[in-house]
Amino acid sequence: MKKIILLFFLLFFFKTSAQTSDTLVLKNNDILVGKIKMMNKGVVQIETDYSKDDFKLEWKHVKNIGSERIHIISLTNGVLLNGKISKIKAPNKCEITNIETQTKSIVDLTDIVYIKPVAESFWDRLDASFDVGIKLTKAQNLQQLTVNVNLGYTAKRWYGTAMYKQIQSVQDESEPIRRIDTELSYVYLLPKDYFVPLSVTTLSNTEQDIELRIISKAGYGKYLMHSNKKYWGVASGLSFNHERFTETPEANKSLELFVGTDFNLYDIGDFSIQTKANIFPSITESKRVRTDFSLDTKYDLPLDFFIKLSFVYNYDNKPKPGASKDDYVFQTTFGWKLD
């Protein structure tokens, strides 16, 4: 009797495990069985029972995929699906069953740009990275520190990010230099690659005599390109600017329009490039225009370490009297990311 109960338990266990396993068939006919953690930016990550670390491989090497679990699936045409993925005989294709409508559709694997299991834990949805740069010179006793922290969280229909950047420089016979950037952003994804961006950013900058600038933005955007190699999104909307300058008692408040673009290229080996640009023509201040631009180039190293080159530029055609119209920062940092 005990043997029968044990056999029944083992059969149930293996059946349950099989039902919850995902399968990837590669173009060289290798088969990986485990749990898909995510597919994003042309890379699929799968956890297996026979490997200490998760496997990461390029999505273009996968010719078949199957999973009974529910996933969020995004296609190149902007369609968002919430369903199961089934293998079919045709190579480089799969069948997706939408659990919301119970409809089935045949999809080319090249048209899938994002896969994320719905029932994963909080930590599986969290992305984080930290990088730092230090510069010390004997000449004029220069001491410079750069710190960058990034957090990201992905849910079913939205994702959020948090960012903190600080650069501080002290040297003899010169005023200290300090710049702090922060950002909290929320993006709600809509059908056909449209999205609603909301964000709050702050800037403290000694070069432009900005004690604190707070920008609150809300808009509407669309991804013009969205594939496993790159994405390009544009957005526009309204922005409220609340800023206080050094040695100025009254805060300045203004309403602005904003037009922004975000381009990310990531299918170039271990390199990735992201550039963002925003233009803020003022509504309430005559002929005032501000511009924010950033460029990040990252090279991935083993064990989730990376090297990053960054360039940030700010321009204001009507700054505080006596302050600089623009400011830029070029930095090299070394960091680590949580995947």
Predicted pLDDT at 139: 66
Compute φ and ψ for 12, nearest 5 degrees.
Answer: -65, -40
Distance, CA of 127 to CA of 183 (rounded, Å): 16
- The CATH number linked to 179 is 2.40.160.40
Tell me if 245 is assigned to some domain. Answer: yes
pLDDT category at 173 given cuts 50, 70, 90 is confident
Q: Give the residue from 292, 291, 306 showing the smallest Cα distance to 338.
A: 306
Tell me if 47 is assigned to some domain. Answer: yes
Instruction: Indicate the helix (H) or strand (E) that contains 259.
Output: strand 252-268
Tell me if 254 is assigned to some domain. Answer: yes
β-strand partners of 236: 220, 259
Return the percentage of the chain with pLDDT > 90, whole number: 49
Cβ count near 91 (within 10 Å): 10
Tell me if 49 is assigned to some domain. Answer: yes
Q: Is 334 a residue whose pLDDT tops 60?
A: yes
Q: Is 62 a residue whose pLDDT tops 60?
A: yes
Residues 102 and 164 in one domain: no
Which region among 23-27, 66-70, 202-206, 259-263 has the lowest average model confidence (pLDDT)? 66-70
Residues 321 and 233 in one domain: yes
Q: pLDDT tens digits for 11-20?
A: 444 444 444 6
Q: Is 121 a residue whose pLDDT tops 80?
A: no
Which region among 14-23, 26-35, 77-86, 236-245 has the lowest average model confidence (pLDDT)? 14-23
Residue 242, class by beta-carbon neighbours within 10 Å (0-12 exposed, 13-18 middle, 19+ buried)? middle
Q: What residues make up the domain containing 219?
A: 124-338
Q: pLDDT tens digits for 94-113?
A: 999 988 788 898 999 999 99
Predicted pLDDT at 120: 60
Residues 309 and 174 in one domain: yes
Distance, CA of 236 to CA of 221 (rounded, Å): 6
What b/e readout covers 34-63, taking b as 16+ CB neighbours within 10 angstroms? bbbbbbbbebbbbebeeeeebeebebbebb
Q: What is the dihedral of CA 106, 112, 116, 118, to 10 degrees?
A: -30
Tell me if 219 is assigned to some domain. Answer: yes
Residues 87 and 163 in one domain: no
Query: Which residue, 120, 147, 167, sits at the end of a domain?
Result: 120
Query: Which residue, 120, 140, 170, sits at the end of a domain?
Result: 120
Residues 111 and 157 in one domain: no
Q: Is 6 a residue whose pLDDT tops 60?
A: no
Tell me if 6 is assigned to some domain. Answer: no
Which has more confidence, 170 or 186? 186
Amino acid at 246: T
Residues 99 and 129 in one domain: no
Distance, CA of 153 to CA of 314 (rounded, Å): 27
Q: pLDDT tens digits for 265-319?
A: 986 778 899 999 999 999 999 999 999 999 999 998 988 899 999 999 999 999 9
Residues 187 and 324 in one domain: yes
Tell me if 2 is assigned to some domain. Answer: no
Instruction: Indicate the helix (H) or strand (E) that contains 11.
Output: helix 2-20
Which region among 35-39, 119-123, 154-158, 225-229 has the lowest average model confidence (pLDDT)? 119-123
pLDDT category at 116 given cuts 50, 70, 90 is confident
pLDDT category at 3 given cuts 50, 70, 90 is very low
DSSP 208: T
Q: Is 9 a residue whose pLDDT tops 50?
A: no
Phi-psi region at 311: left, alpha or beta (left = phi > 0; alpha = psi -120 to 50): beta
Number of domains in the chain: 2
**What is the mean pLDDT of the segment spanning 180-207?**
93
Average pLDDT, the chain: 86
Tell me if 8 is assigned to some domain. Answer: no
Q: Is 10 a residue whose pLDDT tops 80?
A: no
pLDDT category at 339 given cuts 50, 70, 90 is low
Residues 31 and 107 in one domain: yes
Predicted pLDDT at 218: 97
List C-alpha distances in Å: 248 to 40, 201, 209, 251, 317. 47, 21, 10, 7, 19
Query: Which residue, 91, 120, 149, sits at the end of a domain?
Result: 120
With a CB cutoff of 8 Å and minimum separation 6, the contacts of 99 are: 70, 82, 83, 84
Residues 69 and 155 in one domain: no
Residues 109 and 202 in one domain: no
Residues 308 and 196 in one domain: yes
Residues 134 and 173 in one domain: yes
